[in-house]
Amino acid sequence: MVHPLGRTSMGRQRIEIRRIDNKERRQVTFTKRRGGLFKKASELALLTGASVAVVVFSPAKHVYAFGHPSVDAVLRSYASVPGEAAAVAPVPVHGGSGGEDVDLLGLRLAADDTGAQVAAEHARMRDVAARIVQAKAGRRFWWEADVDALGEAELLEFVTALKKLRDNVGRHANTLLAPQPPPLPLQQKQRRRR
């Protein structure tokens, strides 16, 4: 309804882009802006045909994600990008010594899209052994290999590599997310229109 006199609202106010102190208002802003972000992501994909993936952890550590054509498809592609793959895998150690207590080793399926030029790619990865060696020496994509083609020996090498990886991960308590398996809200948003 209409208000006979005077402004009925102060309208949108300008705010500083820095942490909102008030907890509830921070939550409200989170919800509103998360929606807006997903909408923008969706529009970008639709308008330009771009692939987009957005992953958000709320202040309460709940997960929200949007992706076109899908979050996983985009992240898989991302993982297969040279520079990025390297960035994700080797995780530099800043602590030091080694792994005394048991830590998880998280592995994640990444690339291998059966695209048109996969055939061409095949050539350069024909020799798995060479690949592993090359990989151990260098940095990226060493973990790519045709497991079937590996013999017991290479297989061991492979596992060794995995262990090494585990060690490298070691301790970097900088991350934000604390593992919370049981009560997981999780909500995959996959589409939005107007």
CB of 5 to its own copies, least distance (A): 32
Does 89 bind its own copies (CB under 8 A)? Our answer is yes
Q: How far apart are CA 46 and CA 78, in angstroms?
A: 19
Q: In the complex, which residues of this chain contact DNA (CB under 7 A)?
A: 1-3, 7-15, 24-25, 27-29, 31-33, 35-37, 39-40, 194
Does 130 bind its own copies (CB under 8 A)? Our answer is no
The tokens of 123 are what? 């050539």
- Which H or E element spans position 3? none
**From DNA, its own copies, none, interface partner of 140 (C-beta below 5 to 8 A by class):** none
Interface of this chain with its own copies, residues 48 to 87, rule: CB under 8 A = 48-59, 63, 65, 69, 71-85, 87
Q: Which of 165, 163, 117 is nearest to 141 (CA)?
A: 165
Among 8, 29, 134, 190, binds its own copies (CB under 8 A): 29
Does 153 bind its own copies (CB under 8 A)? Our answer is no
CB of 186 to DNA, least distance (A): 13
Q: How many CA atoms lie within 13 A of 36 on its CB side?
A: 6
